[in-house]
Structure 1
Amino acid sequence: MSHPAISLDAINKTFFPQGEKKNGDTESGIEVLKSITLDVDSGEFIALQGTSGSGKSTLLHIIGLLDRPTAGVYRLLGRDAASLDDDAQSDLRNLSLGFVFQSFYLIPYATALENVILPGLYSGKPRAELLARAGVLMEQIGLADRMDFKPSRLSGGQQQRVAMARALLNEPQIILADEPTGQLDSATSSEIMKLFHSVHEAGQTIVLVTHDEDVAKEAGRVIRLHDGCIVEDTRV
């Protein structure tokens, strides 16, 4: 029996001013996510859309094992991910998930190629194998002639392409993207979205956070959040 790639059951997230609530602590917190229940099948391309403060980035962080829910059950690729310890979560995150962020997060003193191989350094694979894989990805994103360039010599669109290649290095089943076009002009954004479509067509599941209506429409399914709740789930 196959499992959804991502399964969220009654997920809540509350932030407390002094950190996580302890037993007997009556301090009120800020409820950011409220009973989120959502399944994402393998191979889907979904957009999480909402205004600032709607909870979309917090939800993505929980899906990406960068944060833990306050309550509820989260299963990633059939595993009860929320109950795993930090080391087990790190292993699952590194092997199963690829991340693309709005701010690129490239290491400024490393070359584009060195940035791409970074996730593989924790996989135990030989460096030569990682470099070969990274080289192929740099060709696929159209930057084969920029491998030795440091981020400061790359445009914003080129840096985001490098970030996408980095996300794909370990051949993850799921790509998570947080406002990946947020710092790009419309023409460059269009090129980046073409890359996302090519990744999706290759079989990867994509969850993309955006506040942009036009970017959201690029996905096959749009989940709209408002005040921490899912208010609309539309298949395009």
Structure 2
Amino acid sequence: MANFTFDLRPKPLNALIPPAAAVSLARSLITEVANTWKEGSAYPHGVQVYSRKLLGEKWIARISTHKEPWDWFKAGICENHTENEAEYIETLDSFTEIDAGESGWRGVHTKYKLSFPLSIREIPEWVLAIQPEPDIKEFFVISVPADVPISKNSVKGRYASIEYVHELPDGKVEWTMAFTPVVANMFDQSDGGGFIPRVIQDLALPSTTAHDVPNFLTWAKKKYAAE
């Protein structure tokens, strides 16, 4: 656990730590966002964006509070996480499974189809979606880069993130997400490939992650409201 960090270095399967240890590290990081990270812009739907550097990498975070039911977030984000993202994130084109054994982590190759002239970007990830205590309404979704080969004709990207969703005492739901940007600099093999300088893409990331919130809420309302 001491050597495990949330960063863009690809991790082989045998470097993953047990779910309980991953949750402990993720909780320590995510609970600092509102208190110690630099506050950025505010967006519709009550989304507040933050940023800071961790281990030399720029991280972006957002926090939002919602009146929608807890069950929508549990079913839509924690359960079948990647399958559901493919339905409400427009650029997420497809995904395939990576065998993660019995580690508690799930392996996925996600493929993002970007506008010309950017290439298809393939991001192999280890994903842990977990509700630590069944009687407590909170869950984490943790993603780290997977050190596995990618398909031919794809550009390899890297991505790390932590999502934390919990129910507040008043019944509302708070959704926090922190992530490292998937950059697009053809000179840096740790990025997503393409021709957009990192500094330019970094400027676009706060609004991009903020838009994921209404995209999810619109999708969840259509999927779960009738239930």
Same fold (TM over 0.5): no
Task: Say which structure is richer in helix.
Answer: 1
Structure with the greater alpha carbon radius of gyration: 1
Task: Say which structure is richer in strand.
Answer: 2
Give the TM-score of the pair, scaled to structure 2: 0.28
